[in-house]
Structure 1
């Protein structure tokens, strides 16, 4: 493999939090340049394990019903993603909170539930037409495993992929006889040792998932969130979402502070606002991803965007409808200056670096609006 090729490493290392790392060649897999590095960093173990467990061990088929426990975790989300978007299975995700259930549905799950056995059994019965699930992919263990296994149907397959609860479930082996399901485990590192060919094949199969509807992205980004009017902004980590039809995902380099941001922060905006809310109606940055039907804008383009609705620009990245976005053709224009290209009314805003921002405006003779640099 030549120098300069983009790669990801599939095996847990003790010294990964470093600039340089020496890896075994069997653990290194090439990724196309279209996959961001932060995406590649999230691919390795979770997606390779999900592929092994669902395709090789469970022999998953299109249209089957799959139950995933711990569905909002890294491995659980990968299993939901692969089952729903690659194998077109009907996926039921089980997780601890309703907020997490929403994330699981966004990944493609047909249904997502919290850990309530009655609701779980009822939903499984409805989705499977009384037959139970064909595959159970368990990442939790413990009591969750013991409850969820009651949903497995005749000749179903139970894949043990993790123990997030740190509790081994109590398994009554006689149920394997009476319920006729198959219990099996999957461990990526065990395949690395015992069957390097299968290990390498599934590791290499992960990057092409980007070419399907499989959203192999778990990287998070920081955003300044307004929970309610007249409260300080809170920095939170949010999960990245893929750009949909007609949308563009942008890495925000600078964001203007204008009248809607001020009024919304005070609760004085004349439109209904749903909180929590991320301010930022005017941004500039670089295109990370384009959705379908997007024309005249490509990945890597420098763009500015101005909109009538919320862009959530007070963040490291945001998703914008294409019609509110324009490519910047003047490479000499600084990113902060680009954030000032649209003449909005000036405002004073309580920000940590407001003096630096105002100094920048004065020196560059811009339109008099504060800009936050997001780098």
Structure 2
């Protein structure tokens, strides 16, 4: 870290401390301007207590200015001397005021810590038209930035209820200042200090969002975006059970958070609605229930505040499906085993029927082809 010092000495009152050690501006001239003239002087940076600047002389206010060749970070200042209505301003390259001390009574003989002021290109020390202050010393501390962006964070994330929770590792950079959080390329948060988590509330179901995080340091350098994490607010799933009781199917379900009611389904077909405090439903023959049918799958699904419907899960409902690992080859083997069970006369009869069906099909196909050719 480089030490920066700006010094102004013309009048050194008795009993004040010695000048602070010099830095980047030691011996370099500052622009001294008033209403009549502008000129450079190193009297304010020569670290000599016998020189300095009277900020007001014969109805003329004066101003001291120094411009840095590159963006600089300022962290503290000290001003010795002064009486009334002095101002310190820290400006960026465009002349924008980044930070100022303008209470009109800047009189201190100690180091004043500032919030880190980044990208300073100019410092101005000025007085009002009626001030008669004599500055014996003016110093600032800081460093020239490295212009190297921080390490790119590695991002992970998961949904926790309706919140997208993002996490990343602690930064290895000593000058880390914080992190920017982006959703679909738009920054939604700027976090100070070396935090490692952020939670973003989601309200719209099924909308996928891409999250990234970048790190920035005390000099304003920002890393490239992290890897993207895609998260979405899934629709709530209602847990169901069912039981066949005589001529009706009794469906029961658990309460679903956020439900304004429930919609009842039988084999994927909606058959009715109930309120948010009802948690069982009788499905009768009139509603389409067929006792003893191979598949009678019933579900209650939550009706959400936006009018849409959530999902349903019924682990005890009968489902027709192939067993795990069942293939076409297995089906062929099963067919051959079935053929073995048939006697010879049955096989001859089946062969005659199938042969006639094939001949009829070829005849119709040939007839259609000839008619098409004539046309």
Shorter-chain TM-score bucket reads: under 0.3
TM-score by length of 2: 0.22
User: Which structure features the higher share of helix residues?
Assistant: 1
TM-score by length of 1: 0.22
Give the structure with higher Rg (CA): 2
User: Which structure features the higher share of strand residues?
Assistant: 2
